[in-house]
Chain A
Amino acid sequence: MMETDNKQVLSSEELEILQEIMNIAFGKSAADLTDVIDTHVVLNVPFINVMHVAALPDYIRNYVKDYVNISIVEQRFWGRFRGDALLVFSSGSGKELIGMLQHGEGMSLVSDHIEILERETLMEVGNILIGACVGKVAELLKDIVTYTPPVIVLERHYEDAFSENDFAPDQTAIVLKTDFNFSEGNISGFLFLVTSNDSIQWLKDALQIFIEQYE
C-alpha cells in the first residue's frame, strides 16, 4: 500500500534526491543551530514516507507513544514548498529548556508563570528548530518560505494530542520524520514535516532542477 503511494507521488529517483537534500539540509541545520542556541543538537537522518493524510495521526502516535505525555509545537510554512511542521517534545522538555535558555532572566517562578514560561520557551526553541530545518530544505530547492506564528499543545497524553480532523482528508502528503536530542539536558523529540498536496508538483520540478546541477 505504502509502496504504491510512493510510486504515485514521487518516483524512486525523486525520493532518493529528496533524501539526499534532507541529509545535506539537516546536517547544515545542526551545525548552525549550535551557533544560535549555544547547545549541540543531534538531528538524525530524516526518513521520508508518502502516505494518505488520514493515516498520519496513527503514524505519528506510533513514534511518540513511549513519551506518554508530549508537547507539540506546530507551525505552517508557506512558500512554493509549503505544509505543516510538527515538532513533538518529550514530557518535561519545556522545563529543562527554561533552565538552559533563560540564564536567570525572565520572571519569578510562580506556578502559573512557569506554565507561560514553559510554553514560550518551547515555542521559541520550536520556532528556531523548525525554521532551521524547513529553511535549509527550501534554500537548497531555491525557495523562500515564511511562517505563521507557532502554536503549542502543552503536556498532553499522546493519544489525545492529535485529532484526525487536524489534517485535510483525501490528501496525500510527503512526510519527513527525524528525531533529535540535545547534548545538554534530557530533551528529545521528533520533527514531522507534512508537505501539502499543492506543493508536490513544484517539489518534483525543484528536485529535477536540483539534480541537473550535478549532471
Chain B
Amino acid sequence: MILQQIFDAINLGLVILDRDLKIQEWNRWMEVHSGIEADKIKNSSIFDTFPHLNNPKFTRSCKSVFTFGNFCFFSQKLHHYLFPFKTKSLSEINFEYMQQSCAMGPLRDENNNIKYLFIYVQDMTEVAIYEHKLVEINMRDGLTGIYNRRFLEIKLKDEFNRYKRYGGVFSIIMFDIDYFKKVNDTYGHQCGDFILKSVSSRASSLIRNVDYLARYGGEEFCCVLPETGIHAALAVAERFRTAILQQENNFDNNVIKVTISLGVAEFQKDMESDSTLLKKADEALYKAKKEGRNMVVVMQ
C-alpha cells in the first residue's frame, strides 16, 4: 500500500516487465509522459507500443538481466532515450524527445528466482540542454557567433590528419580587415565590434555547410574548405573580397566601408603538420598586406 503510493508519486518512470517482456506495471509518471494509461498497456508486449526497442542492445540487456541478474544502464549520451516522449520546448535548444537516462535490473520472487525486470527512466532533458549550451559556448566566438580559434584548431588538425591518411585536396583562407585600427580610432570600439560582426556574417553567407569559418584573432579570420583545390579556394577568397568591398556598414548614421586582405594555401601531402599549412596561408596574407591590401595572394 505505502510502496504503491511511492511507486506513483516518485518523479521517475518505472516499468516492470515479465520474462516475455510484457508490461506488468506502468507508473503514474509513465502514464503522464506517454499519455497511455496503465490499464491500456498492461499485459501487452513492450514491443507492441515501442517497436524501436526491438534492437540488439535492448534485447541483449533484457537477456543479461534475466540470465545473470545484471543491472544495465542506458546513458543519455549514447541512447538519448528509451521511450520517445515529446518535450515541451524549454529553451531555444529543442530536443524532439525527452532525453533520458535509464537503467534496468532484476526483481526476484521469494525463492530468489528472477521473475521480472524493472526499468527506471530519468528525465535528463534540462541537463542535456545545459551541456549543449556549454559545448556551444566552448566552440563559438562570443562576439561574432562564428567558430572560435580553439574549435578551428581542433577541426584543422582533424582534417589535416584525415587528408594525410586518405589523400585528396583541401585549402584554407586566412583574412584580415584592412586598417581595422583606424575604424576603432575613428568611430570607437563599438563600431569596431559592429564591423567584425558584419564582416563575419557576410563571409558566413558565402560558404558551404561543410566549410568552417572562425575568428582567429582580433580582426583575423580563418576559413577551412574541405574537398577544395587551390583554384576553387581562390574563387571563394575573391568572392569574400568583393562582397566585403561592396558592403556598406551603417553605424550611428555613418556609412563605413572596409576591405580585407586574404592569403590562400592548399594542403600538400608532404606538409609536416597543420601548423605548416596555417603558416603558409599566413605568409600569403602578409604578402597581400605588403603589396597594397584589398587583394588575394595564393601561396603555391
Contact = CB atoms under 8 A, between A and B. Distances in A.
Interface of A: 29, 32, 35-37, 101, 103, 105-107, 111, 116-117, 120, 123-124, 127-128, 131-132, 135-136, 139, 142, 144-147, 149-150
A187 B202 CA distance: 51
Interface in B37-89: 55-57, 60-61, 63-64, 67-73, 75, 77-78
Closest A-B pairs by Cβ, 8 of them: A131-B70, A135-B68, A120-B78, A131-B68, A132-B68, A36-B63, A147-B71, A135-B69
Interface of B: 55-57, 60-61, 63-64, 67-73, 75, 77-78, 103, 105, 108, 112, 158
A95 B233 CA distance: 36
Nearest to A146: B71
B78 A127 contact: no
B67 A127 contact: no
Contacts of A127: 64, 70-73
A144 B113 CA distance: 10
A23 B85 CA distance: 46
B73 A131 contact: no
Given A116-B78, A120-B78, A131-B64, A147 B56 contact: no
A37 B70 contact: no
Nearest to B63: A36
Contacts of B70: 127-128, 131-132, 135, 147
Contact of B64 (A128, A136, A145): A128
Contacts of A103: 56
B78 A35 contact: no
B69 A150 contact: no
B90 to A, nearest CB: 23
Contacts of A124: 57, 61, 72-73
Contacts of B72: 124, 127-128
A136 B105 CA distance: 16
A36 B60 contact: yes
Given A35-B67, A116-B78, A128-B68, A105 B55 contact: yes
B105 A146 contact: yes
Given A101-B56, A120-B78, A131 B71 contact: yes
A142 B69 CA distance: 13
Nearest to A32: B67
B162 to A, nearest CB: 9
Contacts of B55: 105
A124 B56 CA distance: 12
A131 B69 contact: yes
A24 B87 CA distance: 49
18 contacts: A29-B68, A35-B67, A36-B67, A36-B68, A103-B56, A105-B56, A120-B77, A120-B78, A124-B57, A127-B72, A128-B64, A128-B72, A131-B64, A132-B64, A142-B112, A144-B69, A144-B112, A147-B71
Nearest to A37: B60
Contacts of A32: 67-68
Nearest to A106: B78
Most buried by B among A36, A111, A139: A36
B67 A123 contact: no
